[in-house]
Amino acid sequence: MPAKGKLLGDDVKLWNKAYVVENKAVEAYVKGVKLFKAFGTWEEGLEQVIRWIAVETIFHKHIVEALLKAQSEADKLLADEGRKEEPKATPEGLKIVAEFAMQHLKIEKDMIDTYSKIAEVAKHPLIRQLALALAENEMEHHAKLAKIVKMAKKRD
């Protein structure tokens, strides 16, 4: 499991830079679309191409922004990771762990199905790839939780 501040890789500064650059790009593309609208273009359809690039750049900016926010939230959770001594497993504790994992198996399955359906209907390749990656990550969660349930029941 990655250490605090490492979920986005070794250099969060690069992600911050990506956000700044994407933000500047959005502003520039929006101005460009307004200019093309006001003064026309030398080629038909050029405004639409620039407009579509602007739309995709807006998605990029907000995806990077969401990743940075998620890193910050994850860092807060990981900061609480420093416990030195593991508590001893009790039958009651194993039951609680198994119930927790079983409940989350259902949630993960729902997310796998939801992201898979999003990937099926997504019209843009970026969104389709993102949904597929999220579905795959949820499958990993599901497999880990299933293993926890199996281990907890085995120890019970």
Domain end (from 84, 100, 126): 84
Per-residue pLDDT of the chain (156 residues; tens, 9 = 90+): 444 556 777 778 888 999 999 999 999 999 988 888 888 777 778 888 888 999 999 999 999 999 999 988 888 888 776 666 777 778 888 889 889 999 999 999 999 999 999 999 999 999 999 999 999 999 999 999 999 999 888 876
| Cβ atoms 144, 138 nearer than 8 A | no
* Domain tally, the chain: 2
Which among 84, 111, 126 is the end of a domain?
Answer: 84
Query: pTM for the full model?
Result: 0.80
Distances (CA, A) of 138 to 32, 40, 57, 70: 40, 47, 26, 16
Q: Are residues 79 and 103 in the same domain?
A: no
